[in-house]
Amino acid sequence: MNIKFKKKWGIMFKAFFIMLLLLVARTLIDIYGYDTVPINTVVGAFITGAIFTIAIIFAGTFTDFKESEKIGGELAASLKALYNDSCVLPLTDETPARVFRTHVRELHRAISNSFKGNNFNLHDINHEMNKVNNDIRILAFLNVAPPLIAKLRNELGAIDKMTNRVEVIIRTDFIPAAYALAEVATVGVIILLLFVKIDPMIEGIVIFAVISVMLIGLLLLIRDMDNPFEIGEHTYADVDLETLVYLDIYFDEQDNEMEKLQSGVP
């Protein structure tokens, strides 16, 4: 199945499959006449309240998701800035700058591998950041201009802030009690709809199918959005981290350019 198609419709297929299983129960209840709950204002209010509750939780999760979307690009920008700033340092000996760029690349690799492995290892990332921080200290001893040192420290601080934010987002759930409330509301509505009497039977089945798919789909989407940094075939709502992936190609190109300049090759 095409990846883009699966990302777009995967959750709907899951919700539709669950709905089909529930539809079997609904059809049997209709056939045997157990659908005895009449449609009234109380039933309508309960269904509306459940949908409203799930919508509020979805809005909160979506806000965190939109914030997470920025992190990949901002991490890439800060890493790129660290790398490029090292290329313009006024040094007679290029060795410290070259070591600095190597450590920036290792930091980038540690961050990328954490995302790819769906195991955000903040310990390894902090270890690589310590190397970069030590390089900045060495550059300060070499009398690099304080504004440049301050800029390098600011970029490293921004990376530290973003990686810690990612770890917190992955580690924590969005208000577990709210999830429990949404799940109870969804189950309650579906159980109620199983026994609501709607004539003719076909009309009841269609209404049950539409509401069930919508509620189950929203619940699955909220669950998937809670960790937007998952990567893999079984994730549907995850942020785009392609900017970080591209950075490897960019660093390779820049390293080649630097080698050509140092060797005098045009």
Q: How far apart are CA 98 and CA 235, in angstroms?
A: 39
Cβ of 134: how many Cβ atoms within 10 Å? 13
The answer to whether residue 1 sits within a structural domain is: no
The answer to whether residue 256 sits within a structural domain is: yes
Residue with tokens 């459940």: 50
The answer to whether residue 3 sits within a structural domain is: no
The answer to whether residue 4 sits within a structural domain is: no
The answer to whether residue 107 sits within a structural domain is: yes
The answer to whether residue 2 sits within a structural domain is: no
Q: How far apart are CA 101 and CA 88, in angstroms?
A: 12
The answer to whether residue 82 sits within a structural domain is: yes
Question: For residue 100, which of 129, 141, 143 has the smallest C-alpha distance?
Answer: 129
Give yes or no for residue 137 having a pLDDT over 90.
yes
Q: What is the pLDDT of residue 161?
A: 93
User: Given pLDDT bands bounded at 50, 70 and 90, which one contains residue 173?
Assistant: low
- Domain limits for position 161: 10-263
Q: How far apart are CA 26 and CA 29, in angstroms?
A: 5
pLDDT digits (tens, 9 = 90+) for 21-60: 998 888 888 888 877 888 788 888 888 888 888 888 888 7
Average pLDDT, integer, range 236-258: 81
Structural domain total, the chain: 1
- pTM for the whole structure: 0.78
Q: What is the pLDDT of residue 232?
A: 61
Which of 54-58, 187-191, 213-217 is predicted least confidently? 54-58
Give yes or no for residue 266 having a pLDDT over 80.
no
The answer to whether residue 258 sits within a structural domain is: yes
Q: What is the pLDDT of residue 174?
A: 62
Angle between helix axes 95-116 and 122-141 (nearest 10 degrees) is 170
Which of 94-108, 111-125, 147-161 is predicted least confidently? 111-125
